[in-house]
Amino acid sequence: MSALLQLRNVEKRFGGLLAVKDFNLDVEPGEIVGLIGPNGAGKTTLFSCIAGYHRITKGSIVLDGHEIGNRPAFEVCRAGVARTFQVVKPFARMTVLQSAMVGAFLHHRDAASARRVALEVLGRLHMEHLAHVEARSLTLVLKKRLEVARALATQPRLLLLDEVMAGLSPGEVPELLDVIRSINAGGVTVLFVEHIMAAVMTIAQRVVVLHGGELLADGTPAEVSRDPRVVAAYLGEEYAAGA
């Protein structure tokens, strides 16, 4: 069984700055993989490279046998990768249903079937009752969830979630975690970036740690959180040495 997503020797350089260095990663079908790292580790950059928003300077990104590195974002999406944005990008003046339909139109040309698919996805995210509310009037929690719904409506094989928890109050996190679990149970592979560690540790089957643009650790949540190099990256060298 080969990996759904394969990153090989991926490098991203901005002028003189090497944001991602010789990065390798395999994501198997059906996994939930968390990508963590301190500020400036290159997580969002890596996401943007996979999703086609940044060009990579070296290496290859393969989805299910097809090269998607350096393809424009819309082609990456058509290949089966859907993403959310760290800073939500709602279609402000569209309703929730309409927003989801934009995603659904990718595989369903006529409005009736796009609507059907969109409603089905909204149902899975417990948002049907909001179908006719304008996206701009949603609360942030719901906007984040709408991002997921929109992406899901494109019927992706791989879902990239970029800090969907950020900005949620502590009480709102578990609800979204359940949603992500159920999406994964529905057969969608999930790769996510997250800062809220408690969330990462409960949901991820595997955690990949990025530090200074390089792979620092890769393992189960428990393994990773005990890894002295990870502790050092988060709290400072001396802390790890002293603790």
> Whose Cβ is closer to other proteins: residue 67's or residue 107's?
107
> Whose Cβ is closer to other proteins: residue 27's or residue 143's?
143
> Whose Cβ is closer to other proteins: residue 2's or residue 129's?
129
Measured distance CA(114)–CA(116) in Å, rounded: 5
List the one residue out of 79, 27, 20 whose CA is nearest residue 46.
20
Say if CB 119 and CB 151 are below 8 A apart: no
Q: Does 139 bind other proteins (CB under 8 A)?
A: yes
Say if CB 158 and CB 191 are below 8 A apart: yes
> Whose Cβ is closer to other proteins: residue 102's or residue 215's?
102
Q: Does 200 bind other proteins (CB under 8 A)?
A: yes
Token pair in block for residue 176: 């979204």
List the one residue out of 7, 109, 94 whose CA is nearest residue 51.
7
Q: Does 175 bind other proteins (CB under 8 A)?
A: no
Token pair in block for residue 218: 């890769």
Q: Which of 26, 134, 214, 218 binds other proteins (CB under 8 A)?
A: 134
Window of 1-9, 62-70, 90-98, 174-182 that interacts with other proteins by CB under 8 A: 90-98
Give min distance, CB of 183 to other proteins, in A.
Answer: 16
Of residues 34-63, those binding other proteins (CB under 8 A):
38-40, 51-53
Q: Which of 106, 116, 120, 157 binds other proteins (CB under 8 A)?
A: 106
Window of 18-26, 60-68, 139-147, 177-185 that interacts with other proteins by CB under 8 A: 139-147
Q: Does 126 bind other proteins (CB under 8 A)?
A: no
Measured distance CA(31)–CA(45) in Å, rounded: 21
103 to 4, 110, 116: CA distances (angstroms): 22, 13, 12
Q: Does 220 bind other proteins (CB under 8 A)?
A: no
Window of 2-10, 54-62, 148-156, 179-187 that interacts with other proteins by CB under 8 A: 148-156
Q: Does 6 bind other proteins (CB under 8 A)?
A: no
List the one residue out of 215, 210, 188, 212 whose CA is nearest residue 200.
210
Q: Does 189 bind other proteins (CB under 8 A)?
A: no
Q: Does 188 bind other proteins (CB under 8 A)?
A: no
3-state class of 70 per DSSP? coil
Of residues 58-77, those binding other proteins (CB under 8 A):
72-74, 77
